[in-house]
Structure 1
Amino acid sequence: MNDDLETSPATPAEPKDRKFVEALSRGLDVLRAFSQGAVVMGNQDIARITGLPKPTVSRMTYTLTKLGYLSYSPQLEKYQLDSGVLALGYAYVSNLRVRQLAKPYMDEFARTTNTSVGLTCRDRLSMIYVENCRPAETTSLRMDVGVRLPLATTAAGRAYLAAMKDEERAHVLAAIESRNPEQWPEWRAQLDDCFEDFRQHGFCLSLGNWDRNVNAAGVPLYLQDGTIMALTCGAPSYLVSEEKVKNQLAHQLAMLARDIERLGV
Structure 2
Amino acid sequence: MAVPAAEQTLGILRYLSSQASPVQATAIARSLQLPRSTTYHLLNTLIDFGFVVHYPEERRYGLGVAAHELGSGYARQEPLQRLARRPLAALADRCRNSAHLSVLLGRDVVYVIEERAAGRPLLVTDVGVRLPAVITASGRAMLAALPQPQIKALYAEREAFSLGVPGAPTSLSTLRRLLVDVRARGWATEDGEVTEGLASVAMPVLDATGFPVAAVAVTYPKSEETPALVDALVADVRATARTLARRLGG
TM-score by length of 1: 0.60
> What's 1:58 paired with?
none
The match for 2:186 is: 202
Q: Assess, with a 3 A threshold, how the Cα gap between structure 1 residues 212 and 183 changes in structure 2: closer, same or farther.
A: same
Deviations 1:207-256 (Å, cap 9, x if unpaired)? Answer: 12232222001111112475522111113324x42645643312321222
Q: Which runs of 5+ in 1 are unaligned?
A: 1-5, 23-87
Report the equivalent of 1:178.
Answer: 159
- Deviation track 1:29-67 (CA, whole Å, cap 9, x = no partner) reads xxxxxxxxxxxxxxxxxxxxxxxxxxxxxxxxxxxxxxx
Answer yes or no: is the 8 Å Cα contact 2:96–2:118 preserved in 1.
no
* Residue of structure 2 aligned with 1:105, choices 87, 93, 97: 87
**1:76-132 CA distance string (max 9 Å, x none):** xxxxxxxxxxxx998644523232122111101101212221111111111001111
Match of 2:234 in 1: 250
Length, aligned pairs only = 198
Larger radius of gyration: 1
* Cα RMSD for the two superposed structures: 3.9
Instruction: Give the Cα–Cα distance (whole angstroms) in 2 for the partners of residues 242 and 8 of structure 1.
Output: 42
Superposition pairs of residues 115-194 of structure 1, within 5 angstroms: 115-141=97-123, 143-175=125-157, 177-181=158-162, 187=169, 188=171, 191-192=175-176, 194=178
Q: Percent identity?
A: 23
Partner of 1:230: 215
Report if the CA contact (8 A) 2:146-2:212 is conserved: no
Distance in structure 1 (CA, Å) of the matches to 2:239 and 2:140: 18
* Distance in 2 of aligned mates of 1:131 and 1:228: 14
Cα shift at 1:260: 1.8
Structure 1 distance, partners of 2:125, 2:162, is: 28
Distance in 1 of aligned mates of 2:241 and 2:202: 10
**C-alpha spacing 1:248/1:101, structure 2 compared with 1 (3 Å):** same
